[in-house]
Amino acid sequence: MGVINISRGCSLIGLLVFSCLLMSSTLMTDFAQSDALLKRFPPGLYVDKIEIIDYLDGAQSIKDLPEGQNAQFIALMQAQRAVVPQGALLIVHDVGQNANWPKWIHPMRNFLPDVGWMTFSITIPSGKLYDQRQYEQMIKDRIGASIIYLQNKGQFNLVIVGTGTGSYWVAKYLSEYMQDVDNFGFAMISINGHENAVNQTEKFSEYLSTLTIPILDLYLPKNEYELNQAKWRKGLMLSKQHPNYSQIKMHDSAFGVNGEYDLVTRRIWGWLKVNAAGQEAQVKVK
């Protein structure tokens, strides 16, 4: 695993021209995406850590990888900058977006470190490169490896954030892998979450309804269908008597970038302070 410090505006590909020659095509694609997204913002505004993550022991293993596939991916990390650390946010972006998407993700991952939250935004592979089963397994593996990586960094108060289809993948991962373990210290935030368009037989709301951790469901309905989907999710969660589920309807202006952070980030910050900040557990030494 390698770590590269890079100020916004610098060319990551330029810095890594020699090492990229040794990387797989998928890892190079991840780097190219992050290089492009970092150049969207003024240089020197923030400093990012580009993390090269290996699929660690304990993460779900990828099966039947395409020939030449390197089991690595990248993430953008911002360390917490407050005196009192609160935990870490693991961010999973929507299809067609990236790990520093200017809408929703950029304000969140750059402001919340100022109030004690590490942000760790991972890159999701392009579904065009794989069949559906490979694509799904790669996303699960990246989420699993990221959780283990953050825990190895001492981050045990974890909030997993999904935007768009990313919310579906987060809910599915937590439903499949975190239900039979002690999930104290975990929480989930969904921003404009919706279904996986490729697999219509599996529903975001159904995976969400299996979870017992604190959940924040922020949504902006673009049409009547999305409004009805949000109402259905809320009704389903109420019928399941979820102990800590909050749904908030946002207006279009709330999702625009306004200076340091937008209204979505403010909502998230407020919810984190009440529902997820600085959870502690007693650890018994055997």
Give pLDDT, residue 96: 84
Mean pLDDT along residues 117-124: 90
The pTM score is 0.79
Class of domain 75-275: alpha beta
Query: What ranges do the domains of the chain cover?
Result: 75-275
pLDDT of residue 270: 94
Average pLDDT, the chain: 75
pLDDT of residue 278: 66
Residues of the chain with pLDDT > 70: what percent? 66
pLDDT at 17: 26
Q: Which residues contact 101 (CB under 8 A, 6 or more apart)?
A: 37, 93, 94, 163
pLDDT over 60 (residue 261): no
Could you read off the pLDDT of 24-77 as tens digits, one per residue? 555 556 555 555 554 544 444 344 566 666 654 433 444 444 444 456 777 888
Q: What's the average model confidence in pLDDT over 214-240?
A: 91
Which of 130-134, 239-243, 267-271 is the least confident region?
Answer: 130-134
> In this predicted structure, what is the pLDDT of residue 91?
96
Residue 225 confidence class, pLDDT cut points 50, 70, 90: confident
Predicted pLDDT of residue 29? 61
pLDDT of residue 31: 57
Residue from 166, 34, 31 nearest 92 by CA: 166
- In this predicted structure, the answer to whether residue 284 has a pLDDT above a threshold of 60 is no
8 pLDDT more than 50: no
Pick from 191-195, 200-204, 216-220, 256-260: least confident: 256-260
Distance, in Å, from the CA atom of 257 to the CA atom of 265, rounded to the nearest integer, reads: 10
Provide the pLDDT for residue 57: 41
Please compute the mean of the pLDDT values over residues 261-275 and round it to a whole number: 88
* Range of lowest pLDDT (25-39, 82-96, 132-146): 25-39
Query: Is the pLDDT score of 177 beyond 70?
Result: yes
Average pLDDT over residues 252-258: 54
Give the whole-number percent of the chain exceeding pLDDT 90.
Answer: 34
